[in-house]
Chains A and B, each alone.
Chain A
Amino acid sequence: MSEPMKTLLAPDRNPSLEKYLARGGYASYQELFKKSPKEVVDMVSTSGLRGRGGAGFPTGRKWSFIPEKSQRPKYVVCNADEGEPGTFKDREILEGNPHLLIEGMVACGYAIGSNQGYIYIRGEFYAGYLRCVEAVKEARAKGYLGQSINGKFAFDIIVHRGAGAYICGEETALLDSLEGERGQPRLKPPFPAVEGLFRGPTVVNNVETFASVPLLLINGLDWYKSFGSPNNYGPKLFAISGNVTKPGVYELPMGISFKDFIYKTAGGLPKGRTLKAVIPGGSSTSLLLPKQIDIPLDYDSIAKAGSSLGSAAIIVIDDSNCMVMTAKILTEFYHHESCGKCTPCREGLSWIEQIYHRLESGQGKASDIPLLLDLCDQIVGNTFCPLADGAVPIIHDTIIHFRSEYEAHIAGKCCEQKH
């Protein structure tokens, strides 16, 4: 066998099962079944792996919440509802390296004592859906899934398509959707670890989180911790888009220079343009200004700078963009995706959207700026789930840092930019 697998992205995108096996695919099972389930949970905890979906919650701790004994079956659910604007990293695994995801879900099933997994994939990702369905069949045919994996363990996966709803990325909304309901967040507690899918104890993890586990099992803790710094370990996928010359998904060690990532790895801005702001972790995270990006790219450094690494989706915004219109576009998105359950989100975002449309058409009033800030205040922390909290940063931050652009809009002088 060649070198053990060390990357989340397949070097030969979308390899056949044969090619995947030839470069060490499914080798993690040997390490997995040498350990007790508890040892697997402990290893994931010790690795410091944090959820790659957006919240950055420690994965091992999430797994440890699953009760050992349960009257109802336990479940492993993969959140492949990648929909946070700017985020397109999981698609690379779903379409380009699905067997790594299967390996990771089997490891989780073994660790928590579950025999059934579900991949909930957003409806728009049809190619990824077909690829995952095929990969599950291939794995079953070779005994990497099914009744007797390595003669030790039974686990199977169903690939389930969503039908267009950003909110289903929220784990309890996802579970409701998987049960055939409207995707609306559930009241917590009980948390999914206690009462999740079909009321059984459930782990819900992001695609990249599961895919990280086989690499950890094969290469060990020392290797895993050789990337990044304490509390921020591991290889990681970063998606970068917007005004850069080489947008894409990059697999890098956590903690590389944020500035170098934009200016070197991603090729920098288009010629003649200067940086205006960066959204570091998907559209729900706070803006960082050019003077704030001379930091390592990891969870804690971005948090210290006042934002969040979120889903590691970096949107680079240059000086050709009007920040009022930027906030308008994202407000339209959040309003469109509000599930309608909570009043502050449903009504608040609708109101805010109307104000932006007013500003866009030159009908804005001076009182609109404090009104927007007041509405933001009334939304944050007053809803069931984080959707509306995620809608606020772009509104708040563009007012705080680019107030003159709002004033220009109100004076009927701003940008010619119409979106």
Chain B
Amino acid sequence: MKSKTVFSEKLRADILQLKAMYPIAQSALIPALHRVQEEKGHLEPNSMLEVAQLLGIPPIEVMKTGTFYTMFHHKPVGKYRVQVCVNLTCSMLGGRHLLSHLEEKLGIKDGETTSDGLFTLIGVQCLGACHEAPVVQINNDYHSLVSEKKLDTLLSSLRSGAKR
């Protein structure tokens, strides 16, 4: 089968290295998809095909797993994924108000991305940091005891950082 690679040499090598860590190749699938997403932002069909080829597993397996987990994106997402916890403790302490505040401020709904490609807003389930509620996770970083004001400052600093 002739297939065109969409991955860099480094990414291919990393995935093959992950594959070698496990007794079965498919165990490397979720780590591999994380790695692809780190580099490409989201999981395109071509990327998933190439992961299947590198791991030597059927493409359908990649599709099945890739579409099950909430952290994998299948459409382009913003440079910053703003993930607001909407579970119980955070909601009791204002989490859902933060989400509405951001919807209004950014002019997008939960799940959407701003037209400048900077922010994707996502209401998420419990992040396991309820003593710091309300919690917002931006990409991999947790932000605790978040208020509207704190969030506004955070977003504008990200925005000015992105311009530089």
Residues of chain A at the chain B interface (Cβ within 8 Å): 73, 82-88, 90-91, 122-127, 158, 160-166, 177-183, 198, 239-243, 247-249, 283, 313, 315, 317, 321, 326, 329-330, 332-333, 336-337, 339, 419
Contacts and interface: CB of A to CB of B under 8 A. Distances in A.
A167 to B, nearest CB: 9
A329 B86 contact: yes
Contacts of A163: 30, 33-34, 69-72
B108 interface: no
A240 B126 CA distance: 14
Interface residues of B, number: 42
A186 to B, nearest CB: 15
Interface in B95-134: 96, 124-131, 133
B49 interface: no
A59 B70 CA distance: 31
Contacts of A165: 68-70
A133 to B, nearest CB: 11
A158 B21 contact: yes
Interface string B121-164: 00011111111010001001110000000000000000000000
B5 interface: no
A83 B126 contact: yes
User: By CB atoms of chain A within 10 A, which of B88, B92, B142 has the most?
Assistant: B88
B125 A180 contact: no
B61 A180 contact: yes
Contacts of B92: 242-243, 317, 321
A52 B91 CA distance: 26
A85 B30 contact: no
B23 A329 contact: no
29 contacts: A83-B128, A85-B87, A85-B88, A85-B125, A85-B126, A85-B130, A123-B71, A124-B137, A160-B27, A164-B71, A165-B69, A165-B70, A179-B24, A181-B64, A182-B68, A241-B131, A242-B92, A242-B130, A247-B131, A247-B133, A313-B130, A315-B89, A326-B88, A329-B87, A333-B87, A333-B88, A333-B125, A333-B126, A419-B96
B65 interface: yes
B76 interface: no
Contacts of A419: 91, 96
B contacts with A: majority SS = mixed
Given A124-B137, A161-B34, 18 more contacts: A83-B128, A85-B130, A87-B128, A88-B128, A88-B130, A122-B128, A160-B30, A162-B69, A166-B125, A178-B27, A179-B27, A241-B130, A242-B92, A247-B133, A313-B130, A333-B87, A333-B126, A337-B125
A417 to B, nearest CB: 10
A241 B27 CA distance: 35
Interface in B45-99: 57, 61, 64-65, 68-72, 86-89, 91-93, 96
Contacts of B21: 158
B69 A180 contact: no
A248 B130 CA distance: 8
Contacts of A125: 128
